[in-house]
Amino acid sequence: MAPLVSVALPTCRGGPWLRAACRSILEQTLADLELLVVADGSPDLEGLPRDPRLRLLRSRGRGIVAALRTAAAAARGPYLARMDDDDWSHPERLERQVALLETRPELGVVGAEVAIFREDGPVGPGYRRYQRWVNGLREPEAIAREAFVESPIPHPTAVLRLAVLRRLGGYRAVPWAEDYDLWLRAREAGVPMAKPEGVLLRWRDGPGRLSRRDPRCSEAAFLRARAHFLARSPLARRPFLLWGAGRYAGRLHDALVAAGVRVAAFVDVDPRKVGGTKRGRPVLPVEAVEEPGRWSALGAVRREDARAHMRAELAARGWVEGRDFLLAG
């Protein structure tokens, strides 16, 4: 009989962390699962748990996308869960995520809150900020609203309806992170995403982490992803105002223009920038922003307080988030 959940766990290195990751899945309170360990290359697979639910697959190609496609093709359950080979899942993780999917049939993707950790000391401030931000996005409206700020679903926490994954076209080989690509396609298709409350995965940070060494996970790649999907959004029917005139705003401008998006101007609160130009576009004061209709707006600032300021200023002028503006950094 087919299992309820198929867990895709690609590995290119194996070793003791892989064995611990496998055990954390096989010891789930939701036992009706299969664990698909996908060997990418020649990882150390010695000492894997002996369990009939563990299936060892060889990747049909090299790299994470090929491994995930291999797992999705082999999956027998209606739900496909993700797991990385160096993380640890809380025993109730899958039970709680599947319960959310089954009680809310509109959801297509369920993630989880994470605790990011390192073996050699404290996690850096950037990851602490990301953890606080991503753990605060639990309902579909919040996830859709902030999907252009950062990846709103930590990939190793994801549980997807396999039918939804296939309807979206599966994992793609693109010039940016495959998971961020999938979440932005889900958002574009109107697929609601959510998370149950509470930390359900310990997410390891370290020098070998793919996001630290893969160019598809660089800031430039994430900017290209945002620009690609923003260019296809209804907001791109009007010229954009970029809220912020700093370095990040300049890089976002360049990515948007390369994707064919019209940028009308920058908006900033710094009197040293207002009245000048950036990338050949005027830098306007906040007071120059009119009622909605003429432009769309993108938040091009990295600080949470600056994004909150933009949201408040535009809402006070009658702009509606998602219809007239989005935060994009």
- Per-run averaged pLDDT (10 residues), the chain, 329 residues: 96 92 98 97 91 95 94 98 97 98 98 95 92 98 97 98 98 97 98 98 80 83 97 96 96 98 96 97 96 95 92 95 94
| CA separation for the pair 243, 182 (Å, rounded) | 26
* Other Cβ atoms closer than 10 A to 278: 19
Q: Is the Cβ–Cβ distance between 17 and 204 less than 8 Å?
A: yes
* Other Cβ atoms closer than 10 A to 274: 18
Going by C-alpha positions, the residue among 68, 99, 107, 103 that lies closest to residue 194 is 107
Q: What is the pTM of this model?
A: 0.95
* Other Cβ atoms closer than 10 A to 264: 16
Q: Is the Cβ–Cβ distance between 140 and 187 less than 8 Å?
A: no
| CA separation for the pair 140, 82 (Å, rounded) | 19
The side-by-side arrangement of strands in the sheet containing 159-161 is 54-58, 33-39, 5-11, 79-82, 159-161, 109-110, 193-194
Q: Give, as one character, the DSSP assignment of residue 272.
A: T
Q: What is the pLDDT of residue 209?
A: 62
Domains of the chain, with CATH numbers?
5-214 (3.90.550.10), 220-327 (3.40.50.20)
Q: Which amino acid, 326? A: L
